[in-house]
A and B are shown apart, each in its own frame.
Chain A
Amino acid sequence: MSLTTTGNLSLNRKAGAATSPSKTGVNPIPGIKQAIKIAPEEIKLLSQYIYGVSGINIEPSKAYLLETRLGKLLERERCNSYTEFYHKAKSDGSKLLEKQIIDAITTNETLFFRDANPFELLKHKIIPEVVDSRTSSTPKGMPVPVRIWSAACSTGQEIFSIAIVLKELLVSLDKYNIKLMGSDISDAAIKQASYGTYNKFEIERGLPRERLQRYFTSIGDNWKIKDDIRSMATFRKFNLMGPFSGLGKFDIIFCRNVAIYFKLEDRVKVFEKIADSLENDGYLIIGSTESLTGVCPRFIPKRHLKSIFYQLR
């Protein structure tokens, strides 16, 4: 999950023909319906609602996100104002609308091997070290456990990139007991991750042709991850704001570009819980522009070549 608009340009999503691109509200184009505007008091109402269900913090300066991301849902629900929309979402016992709001408000901008550095780090340092230490603590003949969590896996690109690295590095995987878990707050993202199917825009960058051909099957204009990679990962819906009970411990946690959407106080709580979920000698990788300074003193940053990773003190 990270913030850019490219996800919304995804061309396989049919743009609602009735959605007006006009933001100003002046010069309405005859015959084209105007988008419903959000009022200042509604910004507060919706922001608080979204914070409550997802922990995502929408600053007043980013209020336009509410219009650009929720506008289509509003029309589909045939609501005439954001207030009406809010009440509809609140009173929906099935929580279906709540899910759709979370899907719409979260950013699913992600790529295979997004930012090559963490994957180089994984390949050349972290995996060898984890395998080494787990091998020595595992009885001979038993599969060596390696547990990795992608804490905001979006549509699965990160965890499948990790799976590809493992496959290329460890060769005979049956000597290992590998657990790759991807979680995200968006049902729609988890669903797509589970299918493992991507359109050509989603695989265009980050994946060289040979990897694409080795690990994907083409289906028309789409690409589906092959079963041997797909079956390495499991996916579940998970809200980082909630308790982490029952999650177990991990050797490696990827938590990239998700905490940036949270308030500082929530970031502190999330990384505390992540620290509790990490093995004592485990590794944490955060986004390249994120920092844990002033967030979680239990972690110390360490450098390996061009990347930083974190370990518990």
Chain B
Amino acid sequence: MQVLKILVVDDDPVTRSLLKKRLSKLDYEVETAESGVDAIRMISNTYYDVVLTDLMMPGGIDGIGVLETAKESSLKTEVILITAHGSIDNAIVAMKKGATDYLQKPINLDELVLRLAKIQNLKHLMKNASDLRVAMDVTEQASGETIQTLELAVADLEERLASIRSILTQSGVPPEDRIGKALAR
């Protein structure tokens, strides 16, 4: 399975480094951003499979801002928000804006890993589906070209046969002349 590329966004350096360390150990590719502004810059330059962002951050751009940028850059990016304990309302707003999931502080690492595994599974299925579609498109296009060429060729032949038939059944023309005319078709 593909390695998930994750961007961790949190203004708290301890959370950042802890998440980076633990997730890297699990073979995820992890980068970090220390503010919403930083995150937006990184997301516009690079594609991330998952953006894991704190909801409340100083500096003008909060988690919702990060979510919006991520969704604008790629519909394929999944965003998980980290919310303060008890702020379900904010989480619901985020989910309505297209967040995949939210976690409450303090982050339970096992829970996070489960959510990431689910996303990875989903991505895998999506890739399968998309590969199948590409395979279908290629097959469809190739066979379509063949079928359409044959379709036109058959129609043309049918028309010629019809005209030969009408020449051969013409009355008042000697048979040899009819055959000659028919062969010329």
Whether A9 contacts B151 in the complex (CB less than 8 A), given A220-B95, A220-B96, A220-B98, comes out as no
CB 8 Å contact bits of A1-22 with B (1 = contact, 0 = none): 0001110010100000000000
Is B98 in contact with A221, judged by CB distance below 8 angstroms?
yes
Q: Which of A201, A218, A293 contacts B154 (CB 8 A)?
A: A293
Chain B residues numbered 113-139 whose CB sits less than 8 Å from any CB in chain A: 122, 125-126, 128-130, 132-133, 136
B140 within 8 A of A: yes
Q: By the criterion of a CB under 8 Å from any partner CB, how many residues of chain B are at the interface?
A: 25
Judge whether B98 and A288 touch: CB under 8 Å. Answer: no
Give the contacts of A270-290 with B (CB-CB under 8 A): 287-290
Q: Is the CB of A289 within 8 A of B140?
A: yes
Q: Which residue of B lies closest to A11 (CB)?
A: B122
Chain A proximity mask over B159-182: 1 for CB below 8 Å, otherwise 0: 000000000000000000000000
- Cβ of A293 and Cβ of B133 under 8 Å apart? no
Tell me what chain A mostly uses at the interface: helix, strand, loop, or mixed: loop
CB neighbours (8 Å) of A201 from chain B are 126, 129
Question: Would you give the shortest CB distance from A32 to chain B, in whole angstroms?
Answer: 17
Q: Does B151 lie within 8 Å of A301, measured CB to CB?
A: yes
Q: Give the A-B contact count at a CB cut-off of 8 A.
A: 59
B75 at the interface (CB under 8 A from A): yes
What is the distance, in angstroms, from B68's C-beta to the closest C-beta of chain A? Answer: 11
Interface residue stretch chosen among B5-13, B25-33, B141-149:
B141-149
Docked-complex contact B122 and A288, CB < 8 angstroms? no
A204 to B77, CA, bound (A): 13
With A and B bound together, what is the CA distance between A290 and B144 in angstroms? 8
Chain B residue nearest to A293 in the complex (CB): B154
Say yes or no: B148 contacts A5, CB within 8 Å: no
B23: shortest Cβ distance to chain A, in Å?
Answer: 24
**Which B residues lie within 8 Å of A291 (CB)?**
147, 150-151
A63 CB-CB contact with B under 8 Å: no
* B97 pairs with A5, CB closer than 8 A: no
Give the residues in chain A near B129, CB-CB below 8 Å.
Answer: 6, 9, 201
Shortest Cβ distance from residue A275 to the other chain B in the assembled complex, whole angstroms: 15
Is A303 in contact with B148, judged by CB distance below 8 angstroms?
yes
Using A205-B133, A220-B97, A288-B140 as known contacts, say yes or no to A308 and B151 having CB atoms under 8 A apart: yes
A292 contacts which chain B residues (CB < 8 A)? Answer: 151
- Across the A-B interface, give the 10 residue pairs with the lowest CB-CB distance, nearest first: A288-B144, A9-B129, A308-B148, A289-B144, A6-B129, A289-B143, A301-B151, A220-B96, A221-B98, A293-B154
- What are 19 A-B interface contacts by the 8 Å CB criterion? A4-B136, A5-B132, A115-B141, A204-B75, A205-B130, A220-B95, A220-B96, A220-B97, A221-B98, A289-B143, A289-B147, A290-B147, A291-B147, A291-B150, A291-B151, A293-B150, A293-B151, A301-B152, A303-B152
